[in-house]
Amino acid sequence: MNMDTVRQRGLVLLGCGKMGSAMLAGWLRGGLPPASVWVLDPNPSGWLKTQGVHLNAPLPEDPAIVLIAVKPQMMGAALPQLAALGGGGTLFLTVAAGTTIATYEAVLGVATPIVRAMPNTPAAIAKGITAITGNDHATEAHMALAEALLSAVGQVVRIEGEHQMDAVTAVSGSGPAYVFHLIETLAAAGAAEGLPPALAMQLAKATVAGAGALAEAAEDDPAQLRINVTSPGGTTAAALKVLMDEGRGFPALLREAVHAAAERGRELGR
């Protein structure tokens, strides 16, 4: 099963909000014909209506793949309408948070190949990272197809199994919010030191974005990059003495935050 199969048999996208739209835009840019795409969405955007895809139309009988991108709270109403496609011929790929593979198998049948994925919001600008894992019926070809589709919005990694998904969610799924909060608080701290708020925000955004890009591009690991910018007894060292404090700094704070997110994910998945 490959992208040629998708072109021939079709792709069904259930839900076309921000994540669904980002993926669809990436596929269309990559050459997937709009005529090969069926979208089911109760409130289609103006952009979606202009893309030439089959919108809320009768589905193909044997699509290559169904991609589920609805919000978890809409899953109960949305999934049963696809139950007829379960059973083995169609790959189901889900990017919905919190819904377990077992839940899909209960509706679609245990013989259905299912790949569960956790993307994150930088997918909107093709800078996302998505972790994937499959059930027992997801073959290497299914996993490769899932990777090919999800790579339209960024990097894709495979995890050992679904037991790691809550940790992934806590690091990369929820992680952009932690970084946005860092930008907020860094800008506020700059304003508290006398900078105009707009200038402090510009500095904070560019600094976090630039440091992230450097961390990805550099051969050195982030610890070495930190050391490189820290002169002994200098300004950065004074700040890091606070931030790296084991009791009240980033090490303890982020461990606690990521653990809280992972625990909440486990609760939601029960």
Q: What is the pLDDT of residues 93-143, one digit of tens each?
A: 999 888 899 999 999 999 999 999 999 999 989 999 999 999 999 999 999
- Each residue's pLDDT tens digit, 76-85: 788 888 888 9
Phi, psi dihedral angles at 91 (to 5 degrees): -80, 130
Residues 33 and 130 in one domain: yes
Q: Provide the pLDDT for residue 108.
A: 93
Residue 86 lies in a domain: yes
Number of domains in the chain: 2
Q: Is the dihedral of CA 167, 270, 72, 135 positive or negative?
A: positive
- Considering only residues 185 and 2, tell me which one the structure prediction assigns the higher pLDDT: 185
Residues 197 and 147 in one domain: no
Residues 26 and 143 in one domain: yes
Residue 75 lies in a domain: yes
Q: Provide the pLDDT for residue 270.
A: 76
Which among 112, 145, 164 is the end of a domain? Answer: 164
Q: Provide the pLDDT for residue 98.
A: 80
Rounded to whole angstroms, the Cα distance separating 37 from 51 reads 10
Residues 150 and 232 in one domain: no
Count of CB atoms situated within 10 Å of the CB of 234: 11
Residues 129 and 197 in one domain: no
Do the beta carbons of residue 265 and residue 165 sit within 8 Å?
A: yes
Q: What is the dihedral of CA 151, 157, 158, 160, to 10 degrees?
A: -160
CATH number assigned to the domain comprising residue 262: 1.10.3730.10
- Each residue's pLDDT tens digit, 202-258: 999 999 999 999 999 999 999 999 999 999 999 999 999 999 999 899 999 999 999
Residue in the block written with tokens 């946005």: 180
CATH number assigned to the domain comprising residue 123: 3.40.50.720
Which among 141, 164, 187 is the end of a domain? Answer: 164
Residue 169 lies in a domain: no
Nearest to 261 by CA among 97, 139, 105: 97
Per-residue pLDDT, averaged over 44-70, amounts to: 94
- Each residue's pLDDT tens digit, 157-167: 999 999 999 99
Residues 108 and 143 in one domain: yes
Helices (H), the chain: 3-9, 18-29, 46-49, 75-78, 101-108, 140-150, 165-168, 175-192, 197-217, 222-228, 235-243, 250-269
Residues 150 and 50 in one domain: yes
Residues 145 and 194 in one domain: no
Residue 226 sits in which domain range?
Answer: 175-269
Residues 22 and 132 in one domain: yes
Residues 47 and 126 in one domain: yes
Residue 105 lies in a domain: yes
Residue 150 lies in a domain: yes
pLDDT at 266 over 90: no
Residue 170 lies in a domain: no
Residue 69 lies in a domain: yes
Do the beta carbons of residue 117 and residue 150 sit within 8 Å?
A: yes
Residue 141 lies in a domain: yes
**Residue 1 confidence class, pLDDT cut points 50, 70, 90:** low
Which among 130, 164, 198 is the end of a domain? Answer: 164
Residues 94 and 205 in one domain: no
Residues 48 and 151 in one domain: yes
Q: With pLDDT > 90 as the criterion, what percentage of the chain qualifies?
A: 84
Rounded to whole angstroms, the Cα distance separating 116 from 176 reads 20
Mean of per-residue pLDDT scores for the chain = 93
Lowest mean pLDDT among 19-23, 70-74, 88-92: 70-74
